[in-house]
Structures are given as structure tokens and as C-alpha cells.
A and B are shown apart, each in its own frame.
Chain A
């Protein structure tokens, strides 16, 4: 009954460091998404995937990379962290044709 699990919940990075945000879902959903949330800005789509081996850019992909080797996992990679990447990151999944997302609890990232 886990749904979408994100790790870590909190992280502080120094400028130029790299890290991977993990996301796993156990609902056998085809579609998975990464969004970032900034105060007063709503959520912006970073990357999405429609199945294992298939990913595509969203609205704000610069500075990020993703992979989808299995149905369950959709990690988000930050290379060369910048202060502009300070945000709360949400992973979500949905089944094809349903579009009602199940969200993870988020990762709060600070880049200093």
C-alpha cells in the first residue's frame, strides 16, 4: 500500500555537487512525472515517462536528467547543482487514460 515513495525527504547540496532523487511506485502505472514546486508558482513539469525506456522533457528540463529502466523506478539526476534548483521536488504516477496522479511526499532540496 506504499503508492509513490520518494527519497530523500530533505537534502542540502553545495553548488556544483550532484545527486539523484529516487522515486518508486508500486501501482504498475505506466506514466511517471517529476515536478518542481516553487512558492507562488504552482508546479512545473521537469520530465515525464510513458513507460520503461521512454522519457521526454517537460517545461523546465535544464539542469536535470532522468532514466526509466523499470516500470517502478524513475530517478531524477541533478548535475552541477545551482541555487536556482532550490525547490521542492515531487514525483507522481498515473495509469494510462486515468490522469489522476498519485504523488509522493516530496523532496525538499536546498543548494547553497
Chain B
């Protein structure tokens, strides 16, 4: 069965600092990979997704992620964090096959705190 691990439960950074959130997945075939963001009391919003092709994926709000097959990782990065980026971030994986019907397996989430 596929699984997703986000090793960091909580990360604190200063505003303007760079950010990297880690995500490791376990899946035999080529996965579809996603990052979502959840602000307090809100639903989740898609930041970016990787299906195939260029392993560096650009998303909304200045985020990017890099797919590294050899490390089974899909880490999320941002060069300069803004206070409004404080939220919880979820990595997710889906089976690339047609019978997956888009079902996602989510990681446990990483809470990002931004200090002024």
C-alpha cells in the first residue's frame, strides 16, 4: 500500500527566510504527487502537483517542489516566507493508474509558524 511521511510535525521560520518542507512517499510505480495548504478553519487548497516531465514543479503563492525518484521525495520549497504562509501543509500521493479514481493518500501534515 502506498504511504506518505512528513517527518516534521512543526516548523518555525522567520519571515523572509527560506523554507523546505519534507515529504517522502512509498509507492512501487510512478506516483502522482501533490502539496496542499490548509489555513486555520478552512478547507485544503492545491499548491502544486506532479504527474510527469520536469521534476521541478512551480505552484501558486511562490512555492515549488522537486520530485526525486531516487530518494522517493517530493519536498516543498519557498525562497522567502511571508507571514501569510503560516498554515498546515499536506503532501499527498495518488496511484497513476486509471483505477485509482484520483484517491489520495495524505501525509500527517506539517504546521508552519512564521515569526516576524
Contacts and interface: CB of A to CB of B under 8 A. Distances in A.
A27 B72 CA distance: 33
Interface in A84-106: 90, 92, 94, 96, 98-106
Given A40-B108, A40-B109, A103 B44 contact: yes
B9 interface: yes
B46 interface: yes
Interface residues of B, number: 22
Interface stretch (A11-19, A41-49, A62-70, A71-79): A41-49
B102 A40 contact: no
Given A100-B34, A100-B49, A42 B106 contact: yes
A2 to B, nearest CB: 13
Contact of B103 (A40, A58, A96, A104): A58
B101 A31 contact: yes
| Interface magnitude class on chain A | 20 to 34
Contacts of B63: none
A30 to B, nearest CB: 9
Contacts of A31: 101-102
Nearest to B42: A105
Contact of A99 (B4, B32, B42, B90): B32
The dominant DSSP class at the A interface is: strand
Given A31-B101, A45-B103, A90 B90 contact: no
B90 A43 contact: yes
Interface of B: 4, 9, 32, 34, 36, 41-46, 49, 90, 94, 101-104, 106-109
Given A42-B108, A45-B103, A101-B102, 19 more contacts: A31-B101, A40-B9, A40-B109, A41-B108, A42-B4, A42-B106, A43-B90, A48-B102, A48-B103, A90-B44, A99-B49, A99-B94, A99-B104, A100-B49, A101-B46, A103-B36, A103-B45, A105-B43, A106-B42
